[in-house]
Chains A and B, each alone.
Chain A
């Protein structure tokens, strides 16, 4: 096995337990709502976005309109725009598998790539293997959940908290490398404010607008202070 493949496998193992638990949670939830394992497998294969797939269970079981599904996906996944922007430089140097790497750029894969120094190794192989291993863990989890949900009468209620826990953990780990705690605090405050004012159906889009506005205002204030 190539050095980069081993390295990618080792790094993907830090994601493995989380993806397995979250994937199983998703599969069990889908099964409990009466969807076949083919639905779960297709979603994990083609959507491959944890929070969106959990949201998707709600959309599927309430038989939402296609427009609602589109808007919801934009709202939940719009943050991926910024992961892409964060990887523009790194991915521009990839030659092979670039499309797959972009497709499979999840929160977790992004966070590993962010902390990785790829100079002096075959970035093509590393990025592809990391993305692929993580994708495999995710699909495996979903399938185990979807199929075991049938066999084992398991009380799954509350398993959706694994998603909440994942995001809390990401916020905590980000806060250790990120020095700008103010923007995180303000983002919390803005989102809670929007939830209270606009209600849970519409607060995400307002939060995003206000967070972007906050970032621009903050930049202006900081620039003025520096000047």
Chain B
């Protein structure tokens, strides 16, 4: 039961956040908000990349090399082919291989 309550809270909060700008700025958008609105999507994604990599540890090779290698592969493959799907697939498969077979 608690798990359903948790899901309800997450869903409700997400919906609230998504509707908030449209409820708050029905008519005129303040200049400050427009400035933030332009800049923050870029900043937020940088923040989320760090958030995803927060479990990285530097006390052993296995703590950071799989992430490092997979990240480099995602970046290089994206620069090469410009395909989000390919880079995500490739990076994930290599990461899974590394942590399951190499750095066990």
Where the two chains meet, the residues of A that have a C-beta atom closer than 8 Å to any C-beta of B are 14, 16-18, 21-22, 25, 35, 39, 42-43, 46-49, 51-53, 56, 59-60, 63-64, 66, 69-70, 73-74, 76-86, 88, 91, 102-103, 105, 107, 110, 155, 157-159, 161-175, 178, 180, 183-184, 187-188, 191-192, 195, 200, 203-204, 207-208, 211-212, 215, 219
Among A47, A80, A165, A174, contact of B87 (Cβ-Cβ < 8 Å): A165
* Chain B residue nearest in CB terms to A51: B48
| Total A-B residue contacts, Cβ distance less than 8 Å | 241
- CB-based contact B10/A74 at 8 Å: no
Among A83, A102, A172, contact of B41 (Cβ-Cβ < 8 Å): A83
28 contacts between A and B (CB under 8 A): A18-B85, A21-B85, A43-B11, A48-B14, A56-B7, A59-B6, A60-B6, A66-B6, A66-B9, A69-B9, A76-B51, A88-B25, A91-B22, A158-B97, A158-B99, A161-B70, A164-B91, A166-B88, A169-B88, A172-B75, A172-B78, A173-B78, A173-B84, A174-B45, A180-B39, A187-B44, A188-B50, A192-B50
A22 to B70, CA, bound (A): 16
Known: A64-B6, A82-B37. Contact between A102 and B19, CB under 8 A?
yes
- CB-based contact A183/B42 at 8 Å: yes
A219 to B35, CA, bound (A): 9
Among A18, A178, A188, contact of B84 (Cβ-Cβ < 8 Å): A18
What 12 new A-B contacts, CB under 8 Å, besides A46-B11, A85-B34?
A: A22-B88, A39-B4, A70-B13, A73-B13, A77-B13, A79-B41, A84-B17, A85-B29, A168-B87, A184-B42, A187-B46, A195-B54
Known: A164-B53, A204-B51. Contact between A171 and B46, CB under 8 A?
yes
- CB-based contact A178/B42 at 8 Å: yes
Among B21, B67, B92, contact of A81 (Cβ-Cβ < 8 Å): B21
Interface digits, B80-91 against A, CB 8 Å rule (1 contact, 0 not)?
001011011101
* Chain A residue nearest in CB terms to B27: A92
- CB-based contact B11/A161 at 8 Å: no
A76 to B48, CA, bound (A): 8
A7 to B65, CA, bound (A): 41
A47 to B15, CA, bound (A): 7
B87 partner residues in chain A, CB cutoff 8 A:
165, 168-169
- CB-based contact B6/A81 at 8 Å: no
- CB-based contact B22/A88 at 8 Å: yes
- CB-based contact B84/A21 at 8 Å: no
- Identify which of B37, B79, B82, B84 gathers the most chain A CB atoms within 10 Å of its CB: B84
* Chain B residue nearest in CB terms to A192: B50
Residue B20 at the chain A interface, CB threshold 8 Å:
yes
- CB-based contact B37/A73 at 8 Å: no
Known: A66-B9, A187-B42, A195-B54. Contact between A157 and B14, CB under 8 A?
no
